Amino acid sequence: MLKQHKQLIAFPVISAIATIVLIGALVLPAYYVTGVSSGHVNNQAWFYVFFFIFYFIGSFIVIFFNTGLIACAQECLRGGDPDFKYGWDIAVKNIGKIAGWAAINATVGVILKAIRERAGIFGAIIASLIGIAWNLITFFVIPVLIFQGFGVIDSIKESAKIFRRTWGENMVARFSLGIIFFLLGLVGVFPIVLAVMTKSAVIIMISAVVLVYWTILGVISASLTGILATALYDYAVTGQVPAAYNPQTIANAFQPRKIKGMRGR
């Protein structure tokens, strides 16, 4: 799909650029107001305020462009060929809901960070597990929000329901994409390590090339994740496999499995 509809990749590209620019503008005031300029955080309250702002802005930008990506992806799955403006208009139409979803995401992020910092290694483990669970059960929030017209809270609830019905495919698919791009990302580590070990003078150039490589991987990964979320959502809600997919690829993973006397997915 991404090969056939290359315009989809514009959403994560612009999202990445906008995130860097807007959050970068807040780095300087946060650096001085929180006391980090002196080597450590002097004002915890301001630190968490700025962390929330960072997280909110980052979440808003990512969610906004993901909304456009998913809207276009669904249109592509139905045989259309939407342009960038199509997704942009749908994202703008839902901007209030996007802001609400970003605020909830930022709040969860601040809470998890506080747990990590105040409960040591145990808190870090707990926060990581909660974070993983949160990301999984909210995987379908954006499709629900824009395609079913639900509010933010109802979209979270509906996403959790869809996740419970399709948890096997959801987790396997996300893990599969994640491990593939993780391994591809590791490829970029070797040139840097080699340059450091050999004390090569071109380490800066190598690092720059690797950074570009990682950025490209991130953009492609974000695009594929958006397409995947749309395809899984369509199948979970309608029971019909999108035409772009092999029916067995998606449908088989949703079929209940019998486990020694009990039924499970």
Q: Which token pair is 69?
A: 């990506």
Q: How many C-beta neighbours within 10 Å does residue 59 have?
A: 22
Average pLDDT over residues 114-133: 84
Assess if residue 229 is contained within a domain.
yes
Assess if residue 45 is contained within a domain.
yes
Q: In the chain, pLDDT over 90 holds for what percent of residues? A: 23
Distance CA 136, CA 148 (A): 19
Residue predicted with more confidence, 76 or 246: 76
Average pLDDT over residues 217-225: 84
Distance CA 261, CA 107 (A): 43
Residue predicted with more confidence, 34 or 258: 34
Q: Which token pair is 133?
A: 């669970």
Q: State residue 151's pLDDT score.
A: 92
Categorise residue 200: left if φ over 0, alpha if ψ from -120 to 50, beta otherwise: beta
C-alpha distances (whole Å) from 195 to each of 52, 100, 185, 186 are: 38, 46, 17, 15
61-78: pLDDT as tens digits: 999 999 999 999 999 888
Distance CA 5, CA 130 (A): 35
Please state the φ and ψ torsions of residue 255, each to the nearest 5 degrees: -70, 135
Residue predicted with more confidence, 60 or 210: 60
Query: Poorest-confidence range of 8-22, 28-42, 250-264?
Result: 250-264
Distance CA 109, CA 50 (A): 12
User: Structurally, how many domains does the chain consist of?
Assistant: 1
Assess if residue 1 is contained within a domain.
no
Assess if residue 133 is contained within a domain.
yes
Residue predicted with more confidence, 32 or 195: 195
The distance from CA 46 to its chain's CA centroid, rounded to whole angstroms, is: 27
Categorise residue 257: left if φ over 0, alpha if ψ from -120 to 50, beta otherwise: beta
pLDDT above 50 (res 131):
yes
Collapsed DSSP state (helix, strand, coil) of residue 259: strand
pLDDT above 50 (res 265):
no
Which domain covers residue 217, as residue numbers? Answer: 6-264
158-179: pLDDT as tens digits: 998 888 777 666 666 666 777 8
Q: State residue 261's pLDDT score.
A: 44
Q: Which amino acid is at 18?
A: A
Assess if residue 215 is contained within a domain.
yes
Assess if residue 69 is contained within a domain.
yes
Assess if residue 178 is contained within a domain.
yes
Bridge partner residues of 259 (DSSP) = 262
DSSP 91-133: HHHTHHHHHHHHHHHHHHHHHHHHHHHHSHHHHHHHHHHHHHH
Assess if residue 201 is contained within a domain.
yes
In what helix (H) or strand (E) does residue 65 lie, and over which residues does it extend? helix 44-77
Task: Fill in the DSSP letter of residue 37.
Answer: G
In what helix (H) or strand (E) does residue 241 lie, and over which residues does it extend? none
Q: State residue 154's pLDDT score.
A: 95
